[in-house]
Amino acid sequence: MQSPQDWKCLMICKNVRSLQAYTPGEQPHDNSVIKLNTNENPYPPSPMVRAALSTFNCERLRLYPDPVCMRVRERIATIHGCSVEQVFVGNGSDEILALCTRAFVEHKGAVGYFEPSYSLYPVLSDIRAARRHPVDLNPDFSWRMPADYAADLFLITNPNAPTSLLHSISTIADFCSEFAGVVVVDEAYVDFADCNCMSLVLAQNNRNTLVMRTLSKSFSLAGLRFGYAVGPVELITALYKIKDSYNMDALALELGLAALNDLEYMRANVERITATRQSLTNALLQRGWRVCESQTNFLFASPPDGDARRVFELLKEHKIYTRYFPGETTGEYLRITVGTGEQCDALLEVI
Ligand SMILES: Cc1ncc(COP(=O)(O)O)c(C=O)c1O
């Protein structure tokens, strides 16, 4: 006979029972911690966001929000020169990634992604009970793709995380044109990079590729939960068919719109961060570190003796949080979010 505990277990899907859940970076409650562990922006959101928040009419929360997010989609369409039908808005880009695994992966299909890359991808594949089909990047983290590679969906972070490196747009374009499934180019960090794939997905002949963006990094709005995807109408319509009716709340829509109306502020912050990125890179190189050429708001860097875990722990003792990914390819590196100049100086002092 089965015990009640076994019964409880049987009610949970097999893949969920065996699932290794995603581990988000730590969010300490101690305000004195210097947080360089989750690639947040060290500067506040635009003053226009603050103004929108202070004038937001609470009475509006009585009503459901716009299920198709029309005003923000119009703004995003204007920014990128596309139609509103080509824009999907989601509760953070993580929601859009999850929807893509539901919309574009057949039962028992395969989800592809690079190793190393965003560690949520294999988890989303497992949640969907799909087959993981990772591709190992070269030892220097450059692009590598087997000739006969196939999957239903391929997720590419570009610039990549945690490596901070950019794959060339032409390499991605060639891959997309030959790949039989759907490709999502996750451009979470692209505002800190020299180029992006937007023109690729808006080209007339594109049938299978989406670009995804987030307000969490360059717009300083990780706490708001606002991401979007741009691409062919057929793929965007599929996402709208399966999303929750009200996936974006009224406040996120209002504040997201305010942020998207102040691109200048975002760009000025990006400039500040890329300048600090350069000085932090130089300082680490001077101390004998290996530093990947970052196109993001973080560095992926290895100390002279390769013992990144020790530096990670030492920094943590000094209340400076960074991110360490154990493993054969990543274990010698530390991922360090580019903070303010003062935060980076504090990190250098401990190192
Ligand atoms: C590559 C990548 N994609 C997506 C996300 C999630 O972004 P969002 O906050 O919009 O869900 C992150 C967050 O760190 C990320 O690193």
Which of 214, 224, 338 to mutate to test ligand 1, by most ligand atoms within 8 A of the CB atom? 214
Q: Tell me the CA–centroid distance for residue 271 and ligand 1, in Å.
A: 21
Nearest CA to ligand 1 atom 13: 188
Q: Tell me the CA–centroid distance for residue 98 and ligand 1, in Å.
A: 12
Ranges of residues in the chain whose predicted pLDDT is under 70: 1-9
Of the candidates 326, 320, 325, 328, the one whose C-alpha atom is nearest the C-alpha of residue 346 is: 320
Nearest CA to ligand 1 atom 7: 93
Which of 35, 192, 216, 218 to mutate to test ligand 1, by most ligand atoms within 8 A of the CB atom? 216
Q: Which residues sit with their C-beta closer than 6 Å to ligand 1?
A: 39, 92-94, 118, 157, 161, 186, 188, 214, 216, 222, 227
Q: Tell me the CA–centroid distance for residue 286 and ligand 1, in Å.
A: 31
For the CA of 217, the nearest atom of ligand 1: 9
Specify the pLDDT at position 305.
96
Specify the pLDDT at position 31.
87
For the CA of 227, the nearest atom of ligand 1: 10
Q: What domains does the chain contain, in order, with CATH numbers?
A: 26-44+264-350 (3.90.1150.10), 47-261 (3.40.640.10)
Q: Tell me the CA–centroid distance for residue 121 and ligand 1, in Å.
A: 11
Specify the pLDDT at position 123.
97
SS3 string, the chain, reads CCCHHHHHHHCCCHHHHCCCCCCCCCCCCCCCCEECCCCCCCCCCCHHHHHHHHCCCHHHHHCCCCCCCHHHHHHHHHHHCCCHHHEEEECCHHHHHHHHHHHCCCCCCEEEEEECCCCHHHHHHHHCCCEEEEEECCCCCCCCCCCCCCCCEEEEECCCCCCCCCCCHHHHHHHHHHCCCEEEEECCCHHHCCCCCHHHHHCCCCCCEEEEEECCCCCCCCCCCCEEEECCHHHHHHHHHHCCCCCCCHHHHHHHHHHHCCHHHHHHHHHHHHHHHHHHHHHHHHCCCEECCCCCCEEEEECCCCCHHHHHHHHHHCCEECEECCCCCCCCCEEEECCCHHHHHHHHHHC
Which of 120, 247, 337 to mutate to test ligand 1, by most ligand atoms within 8 A of the CB atom? 120
Specify the pLDDT at position 189.
98
Nearest CA to ligand 1 atom 3: 188
